[in-house]
Amino acid sequence: MEDNRLKPYTPEPSVSDGAASPLRFDFPTGNDPQSIRKRIEAMEMILERSFVLPGTNYRVGLDSIVGLIPVVGDIITAAMGSYLVWEARNLGLPKWKLWQMMGRIGFDSAVGSIPVVGDAFDLVYRSNTKNLKTVKKHLDKHHPQTRVIDQ
């Protein structure tokens, strides 16, 4: 009789047709620009476009949902948005671009903290998406090998 209790678990390789699952996020651990780009894109997806509002085709993320919690929610989403700025600093973006990105997060947090108006504002203003565009422009110019063809 074979004892398999101490045998390490190895997951079965999944067979896919090449289509990515809508809620599958890939966080590579490398420090190269390609890995950083994937991490920033995944974090932006989580914060801005991870769920579909029922009855509509409008996508929202944790930024809008967690922002519904008074005060604490806005602090949490600002911290999560600051991760994108930290990764951008690791890529070597100029300080003025980093300040611009932090300004967007600060503006989003300040207006988002207003009780009812801020929650509606969070649905419309996507600071993390704008910050992702800033990082992508920098990567496309200074690290062209990281370009990905969007479909």
Q: DSSP string of 68-131? A: TSTTHHHHHHHHHHHHHHHHHHHHT--HHHHHHHHHHHHHHHHHHTSHHHHHHHHHH--HHHHH
* Selected residue with higher pLDDT from 69 and 20: 69
The model's pTM is 0.76
Average pLDDT, the chain: 82
Q: Which of 26-35, 67-76, 106-115, 128-137 has the lowest mean pLDDT?
A: 26-35
DSSP for 23-59, please give it: T--------SHHHHHHHHHHHHHHHHSSEE-TTS--E
Residue-wise pLDDT for 66-111, tens only, equals: 988 888 999 999 999 999 999 999 988 999 999 999 999 999 999 9
pLDDT at residue number 60? 93
pLDDT at residue number 9? 47
Say which amino acid occupies 141: K
